[in-house]
Amino acid sequence: MKKIYYTFCGFVVLLIGLSSCDLETGPSNAMTPEEVGSSIINIRAANNGNYSKMLIQDFVRNINNMPEYQTDELSLSGVTTSPLFYSYSYNHLLNQANQQQIWDRLYHMISGNNLLLPVIDQTLSAEHAHIRGENLFLRAWSHFHLVNIFSRQYMLDGVNPSTELGISVVTQYSLTDLPKRNTLKETYDAIIKDLLEAADLMTMDKSCAYVSKEVAYALLSRVYLSTGNYTESIKYSDLVINSGRYELVTGQSFVDYQRVEPETNKENIFVIKFTLKDDLGYGSLGSQWNGDGGYGEVYVSTTHMKLLNKYPEDLRQKQVAVQFTADKKDTLRRNGFPKIFM
């Protein structure tokens, strides 16, 4: 008989275990989903485990690189063996590694949400309801990233959302299902449905490293914007702005906002928080932008710098580090690209 276990090793991971039909012997450090649902302590641990999936290199690098490397805001200073090169050069391959990694990781995250959601009784307490809302949000958030990367845009000329293929919307855990792709409209409708329910369930104030009602409002605004429903987009943006929880940072606080604890930044709505023990070293985002302890092969583009230099008071100029020659008379270059670290 096949059993599904949550395994507790620091954070929660998923383990598919096989047990004898004659002898039920579960792992000593694991629980079935039903056992997890029987205790709020276990539910909290499983919930943290679902968040921890965002700290994996295959996810956090690719979710940033795949969309950003197709813009004119950065320059890749040469050929690299990393598959990020294909995102940068628009030469996508059917077996491109980073595409497969982000597909796998996002659906892995969705699987974690789909395992936990059915065993949370939201009527037991406000915390039960809130954690259910968090996992509905995370499922919608993953589906939204998938449809942005692997489907055409909802408002693109020539796209009919009712017939255009989106991605496979997965709302139940299964080891055997091979779901077909939903239409673009079905995909966005499912994302909105999860987010609306999530917002209704969440009543607790949590730090920006976790999901709260305002986080769901912010993503709803972004999703409605993508579908051209500007009235709803403005409505949910206003709910975030008028919540009183956030404010724009200015001055030196803006310059330093990537270097301080995210919870101290009043502008942050939702972040993927890394601590020292989560450091990915050369696998981190920063390693690609900085040659001091990293690869340093990605630079701020000259196109982007021209925009910054157009306005001397733009504080973003203080967030870049131009690399100069020893005599400070010229900018260092690699393959003709100015070395400008972020």
Render pLDDT for 254-275 as a digit per residue (tens, 0 to 9). Answer: 888 878 888 988 999 999 888 8
Q: Is the pLDDT confidence value at 12 over 70?
A: no
Least confident of 5-9, 180-184, 209-213: 5-9
> Closest by alpha carbon to 267, among 277, 279, 254?
254
For position 23, what pLDDT does the model report? 56
For position 335, what pLDDT does the model report? 75
Q: What is the pLDDT of residues 95-118, one digit of tens each?
A: 888 888 889 999 999 999 999 999
**Cα–Cα distance for residue pair 80/103, rounded to 1 Å:** 22
Q: What is the pLDDT of residues 118-159, one digit of tens each?
A: 999 999 999 999 999 999 999 999 999 999 999 999 999 999
Model confidence, pTM: 0.87
For position 326, what pLDDT does the model report? 84
Q: Which residues contact 144 (CB under 8 A, 6 or more apart)?
A: 191, 219, 222, 223
For position 167, what pLDDT does the model report? 97
Q: Is the pLDDT confidence value at 48 over 70?
A: yes
Mean pLDDT of 236-263: 91
Here the tokens at position 44 are 């909290």
Mean pLDDT of 166-187: 95
Instruction: Assess contact for 77 and 335: CB atoms under 8 A.
Output: yes
Which tops the pLDDT comparison, 76 or 145? 145
**Cα–Cα distance for residue pair 328/330, rounded to 1 Å:** 6
> Closest by alpha carbon to 214, among 259, 270, 174?
270
Q: Is the pLDDT confidence value at 8 over 80?
A: no
* Beta-sheet pairing, 321-322 with 333-334: unpaired
Q: Which amino acid is at 292?
A: D
